[in-house]
Amino acid sequence: MEEWKPNPAVKPHKKRSWYLAWKYKLMNQRALRKLCQTGAVLFLLVTVIVNIKLILDTRRAAYEEEEESAQDYDDEMLNVEVPRHPVNNKKVLDVEVYSSRSKVYVAVDGTTVLEDEAREQGRGIHVIVLNQATGHVMAKRVFDTYSPHEDEAMVLFLNMVARGRILIFTIKDEGSFHLKETAKNVLKSLGSQVAPFLSWRDMWTFVGKKGGEVYGEKHAKSPALSTWGDPVLLKTEVHLTSVEDAECHWPDTELNRRRKRFCSKVEGYGSVCSCKDPTPIEFNPDPLKDNKVFDVPVAVIAGNRPNYLYRMLRSLLSAQGVNPQMITVFIDGYYEEPMDVVELFGLSGIQHTPISIKNARVSQHYKASLTATFNLFPDAKFAVVLEEDLDISVDFFSFLSQSIHLLEEDDSLYCISAWNDQGYEHTAEDPSLLYRVETMPGLGWVLRKSLYKDELEPKWPTPEKLWDWDMWMRMPEQRKGRECIIPDISRSYHFGIVGLNMNGYFHEAYFKKHKFNTVPNVQLKNVESLRKDNYETEIHRLLGEAEVLDHSKNPCEDSFVPDTEGKVYVMFIRMEQEADFTTWTQLAKCLHIWDLDVRGNHKGLWRLFRKKNHFLVVGVPASPYSSKKPSSVTPIYMQPPAKEEGAVAVPAVAAAEQT
C-alpha cells in the first residue's frame, strides 16, 4: 500500500498544474514526455486493477470465513423441536369407561388412556385421575382388591388426591372380595351409589369429581358365583374448569416453581401438592462434622415405581450429611413420572433404555448405572448404591463416614452394606455395633471403584444371561473370600412390596419386621476392630467371655436363653463342613430370621441378639472357632422337615431379597 501514498495527498486540480509545469519543462523532450505519460497511465491502470482485485479478494475471504465459521458453530444434528400440542380450549371432555371380566379401557376425547386386556394381570379396581382443567392423565393405578390390604392402599391413594380432580374407576375381573367397609365408604363419599353394594364379580364403572359432582356410574351384577356380570360401558361428559382454579397459589420461589410443575402433572403424592401448608421438598438436614463421604457419588437405581422413589428420596435427602449434588437417579426405561419426582427434588436423573428381560434387565441396568456413576464422578474412589424401595436412616452417611476408611485400607473387604440380613426387631439391638460377614447383603451399600473397574465391570453378566446381579456378585469367583461390613441395626429399610421378586406375603414374612435405626449421630464402637486380624482377636475375646448355653434345651424355645440383659451367650450347632448349613437353616427358621439362604456368617459363626443378649452360634466342627467348644457339649443337630419342598422353593425365592 505504501507506494500509493503520494497520490491521495495531491488533489486533482493541483495535480493538473503540477503536470502543466512539468509539461512545459519537458516540452522539448517529446519522447521522454510521451514515455512519462504512458507510464503514468499504466501506473494508474495498474492501481485501479489492483484495487479492484483487492476488494474482490477481501470480499471473498470475508464471505468464506463467514460461511466456515457459521458451519463450525452449527449443531450438526438438526434438533427440530417438536411443536407442542396446541392448548386444548375445549370445555367438555368425552369420557368412555369399560369394565368387563377380561378387559378394561378408558378413553378421554377418543384417546385411549387405559387399555388392559392381558390375561391374569390387572385384576381389581383401576383408577385414573384427570386434571380438571386440562384433562391430562395425572395418575393411573390398579388396586387388586381381590387380595387383602389392597383396599387400604386405595383409600390411602384416594385421600391423597387433591380436591377437584376427576376420578375414573373401572373393575377388571374381580374387585370386591377384599374391598372392606372403609374403602366402600370412601367410594360412597365420592358420590358412588353402587360402591357400598359391590359384590363378587360385579362389573362397575364410575366417573366423578373429588368433592364434587358425579358424571356417571354404571354397574352390572353378577348373576351367580361362577359367572361374571355383563360388561358395562359408560359414556359421559366432563366439564373442565379454568387453569387458575385447578392450581394452588404458592409464593413464587424456585422451589415452588418445581412444585407447581410437578403438581400439575401427577397426582397421588398427597401433601406435597397441598395448597395450604404443602410439605417441604428441601430438607437441609444438619451437616456432618468431618464428613468423609461428602464427595462420594450416590447412585439411586430406580424402575417405574415413582411413589417408592418419592418416599426413598425424601428419606435420603433428610439424612444428615447428604450431598444432593452427588446423587444421580438412574431410571430403567423412559418413564415420565419417576423423572418428574427426580425433578421435583432438583436432582439429576438419567434414563436407560431397557436391555434384555427380567433379572437380566435389572442386571444390565445396574451395570450401566455403575459405569455412568464412575464416568460422571471420575475422582470418586467409591460409590454408594441405593435402590428406590429403601428408606434411608438418618445416620446413614454418618455410619459410612465412620467406616469407609476400612474399605479403602483393608483389601479383605468386599463392601460396606447398610443392611443386616439377620437384623430383625427381635435379633438386633446395638446401633453402634458392626460385623464382618461373608455374604453381600446389598440394599444400600458402598462399592469400591477399583473393584468395579478392574474386576466386576469387565466380566459383568451379559444380557443373555438371566442372572441376578447380586447373586452373581455373591458367587465365589467374584467375591474371592472377601467380606462385607454391616451394622447390627440396619441403616436402610426395605419397604417395597411390589417388585420383580417381591410380593406382599413375602415382604411381610421377611422384611416388615426388620429393625431400622432412627437414632441420629450414632458413634460406632471400636471401628478398628473390624480389620481382618483385629476382628479375629475380637471374636476370640467374645467367645472367651461367652457363657455356654444349656444344649439340652430346645434352641427354638424362648427359654433357651436366660432372662438376662447385656450378656454374651454361645451355642454350638452341627456343621460337618463349610457348606453344611442344615442345622443353621432350621434354627434360622424357628428364630424367624432369614432362612432362604445362608446370610450373615463369618467363618461358621453367626452373631445376633436374643432377649437383648449377644447370641453367638458356632458351627462345629467346620468353624475354626470350634476349639472354643467345651468337650462336654454336644453340638445341636436339627433335622430338616421330612418333606423336602423347601429345597425346591429356595432357588426360586432366594433371589427375591433384591427387587
Active site residues: 389, 470
The sheet with strand 601-602 has its strands ordered as: 547-548, 568-575, 613-621, 605-610, 601-602
Q: Which is nearer to other proteins, 292 or 436 (CB)?
A: 292
Q: Which is nearer to other proteins, 66 or 528 (CB)?
A: 66
Binding segment for other proteins (CB under 8 A), chosen from 68-76, 428-436, 509-517, 640-648, is: 68-76
Give φ, ψ of 139 to 5 degrees.
-160, 150
Distance in Å, CB of 258 to other proteins, minimum: 10
> Can you tell me the distance from the alpha carbon of 228 to that of 631, in angstroms, rounded to the nearest whole number?
69
Contact flags string 76-95 toward other proteins, x per CB under 8 A:
x-xxxx--------------
Residue number with CB closer to other proteins (203 or 313): 313
CB of 91 to other proteins, least distance (A): 33
Stretch in the footprint of other proteins (CB under 8 A) among 36-44, 222-230, 554-562, 566-574: 36-44
Q: How far is the CB of 4 from other proteins (least distance, A)?
A: 6
Q: By CB under 8 A, how many residues form the interface with other proteins?
A: 58
Q: Give yes or no for residue 284 binding other proteins (CB under 8 A).
A: no
* Cβ burial, residue 568 (10 Å; 0-12/13-18/19+): middle
Q: Which of 102, 274, 318, 371 binds other proteins (CB under 8 A)?
A: 371
Torsion, Cα 528 530 536 540, to 10 degrees, reads 80
Of 375, 577, 631, 639, the one binding other proteins (CB under 8 A) is: 375
With CB under 8 A as the contact rule, the residue among 27, 70, 87, 224 that binds other proteins is 70
State which residue, 325 or 523, has the beta carbon closest to other proteins: 325
User: Which residues ranging from 203 to 262 are in contact with other proteins (CB under 8 A)?
Assistant: 254
Q: Which is nearer to other proteins, 112 or 348 (CB)?
A: 348
Q: Which three cell numbers stand for residue 114?
A: 387405559
The answer to whether the beta carbons of residues 404 and 293 sit under 8 Å apart is yes
Q: Which of 290, 518, 313, 531 is nearest to 396 (CA)?
A: 518
For other proteins, the binding residue among 57, 64, 65, 545 (CB under 8 A) is: 65
Q: CB of 350: closest distance to other proteins in angstroms?
A: 4
β-strands 124-130, 111-116 pairing? unpaired
Q: C-beta of 341: minimal distance to other proteins in Å? A: 14
Indicate left, alpha or beta for 319 from its phi (over 0: left) and psi (-120 to 50: alpha): beta
DSSP 516: B
| Position 351 contacts other proteins (CB under 8 A) | yes
Work out whether 376 is an interface residue with other proteins (CB under 8 A). Answer: yes
CB of 33 to other proteins, least distance (A): 11
Count Cβ atoms below 10 Å from residue 153 Cβ, excluding itself: 18
Site membership for other proteins, residue 454 (CB under 8 A):
yes
Check residue 54 for interaction with other proteins (CB under 8 A).
yes
- Of 334 and 637, nearer to other proteins (C-beta) is 334
Whether the Cβ atoms of residue 440 and residue 477 lie closer than 8 Å to each other: no
Near other proteins in 304-343, by CB under 8 A: 325, 334
Strands (E), 566-628: 568-575, 601-602, 605-610, 613-621
**140/168 Cα distance (integer angstroms):** 10
41 belongs to the binding site for other proteins (CB under 8 A)? yes
Q: How does DSSP assign 600-613, residue by residue?
A: SEETTEEEEEETTE
At 16, phi and psi to the nearest 5?
-65, -45
Minimal distance, residue 439 CB to other proteins, in Å:
25
Chain-centre distance of CA 13, in angstroms?
A: 88
Scanning 161-234, the segments in alpha helix (DSSP H) are 181-189
CA dist 576 → 107, 573, 605 (Å): 64, 10, 14
Q: Where are the beta strands (DSSP E) in 395-524?
A: 413-417, 434-437, 445-448, 483-487, 492-494
* Long-range pairs, 363-369, Cβ under 8 A, ≥24: 363/460, 363/461, 363/465, 363/467, 363/468, 363/469, 363/472, 364/463, 365/301, 365/303, 365/330, 365/332, 366/301, 366/469, 367/457, 367/460, 367/469, 368/330, 369/299, 369/301, 369/330
Is residue 15 a contact point for other proteins (CB under 8 A)?
yes
Residue 73 touching other proteins (CB under 8 A): yes
The answer to whether 493 and 387 are in contact (CB under 8 A) is no
Q: Which of 21, 40, 556, 590 binds other proteins (CB under 8 A)?
A: 40
Under the binding rule (CB under 8 A), the answer on residue 476 touching other proteins is no
Residue 26 touching other proteins (CB under 8 A)? no
Cβ nearer to other proteins, comparing 105 with 460 = 460
Closest to other proteins by CB, 47 or 193: 47
Q: How far is the CB of 348 from other proteins (least distance, A)?
A: 6
Could you tell me the smallest distance in angstroms from the CB atom of residue 345 to other proteins?
13
Task: Spell out the alpha helix ranges (H) of 264-329.
Answer: 306-318
CB of 358 to other proteins, least distance (A): 18
- Tell whether residue 377 is a contact of other proteins (CB under 8 A): yes
Under the binding rule (CB under 8 A), the answer on residue 368 touching other proteins is yes
Nearest CA-CA partner of 609 in 515, 538, 483, 512:
515
Neighbour-count burial of 529, counting CB atoms closer than 10 A to its CB (0-12 exposed, 13-18 middle, 19+ buried): middle
Grid coordinates in use for 654?
432366594
Q: Which is nearer to other proteins, 295 or 538 (CB)?
A: 295
* Least Cβ distance, residue 51 to other proteins (angstroms): 4
637 binds other proteins (CB under 8 A): no
* Continuous segment of H or E residues that includes residue 25: helix 12-25
Question: Taking CB under 8 A as the rule, does residue 378 contact other proteins?
Answer: yes
Work out whether 652 is an interface residue with other proteins (CB under 8 A).
no
Instruction: Decide if residue 32 touches other proteins (CB under 8 A).
Output: no
Residue number with CB closer to other proteins (380 or 524)? 380
Collect all residues with Cβ–Cβ distance below 8 Å to 80 and sequence separation of at least 6. Answer: none
Footprint on this chain of other proteins (rule: CB under 8 A): 1, 4, 7-8, 12, 15-16, 19, 37, 40-41, 44-45, 47-48, 51-52, 54-55, 58, 62, 65-66, 69-70, 72-76, 78-81, 254, 325, 334, 348-353, 355, 368, 371-372, 374-379, 453-454, 458-459, 462
